[in-house]
Amino acid sequence: MGMFHYFDLGYSEVFVFDDYIINQIRKDKVISTEQGFMLNDIIKTYFNNKKMVYISNKVKSYHVDPLAFKYAENIPNLAAMIIVNANNDNTVKKIPLQDFKKPFKICKSLTDAIVIADAIIKNEPMPNL
């Protein structure tokens, strides 16, 4: 793992690594397409056309506008989306992902999410963690 970049966007903290982004959204925030635009600017800057994985480290409760997922799936170099749900709460089940057209995974730990992201980037099968 090389150097990483950190951004405090107000509604979330973003950590940019070589092959993935970890986004930790603050409590009770609503994620809309506007926040998607801000994140996409970071993706364009640090990944350009390079394949990458988005990891949401769900530490706090937050809400996602379903249109934000439609926007995210149109990011061309987004290879997959992973949500870390360490608390095993049911809010992840409420996220409207049935129509999401990119690979998607829910993990119990950030470590598992990074292992899966690495496999996706290397075009290896996703491990069952």
Class of domain 5-92+112-121: alpha beta
* pLDDT tens per residue, range 47-57: 988 999 999 88
CA atoms of 68 and 61, how far apart (whole Å): 17
C-alpha to C-alpha distances, 109 to 24, 45, 94, nearest whole angstrom: 13, 27, 19
Rounded to an integer, what distance in angstroms lies between the CA atom of residue 69 and that of residue 80? 12
pTM of structure: 0.82
Instruction: Dump pLDDT digits (tens) for 26-84.
Output: 777 666 667 777 788 888 899 988 999 999 887 656 556 666 666 677 788 889 988 88
First to last CA, the chain: 21
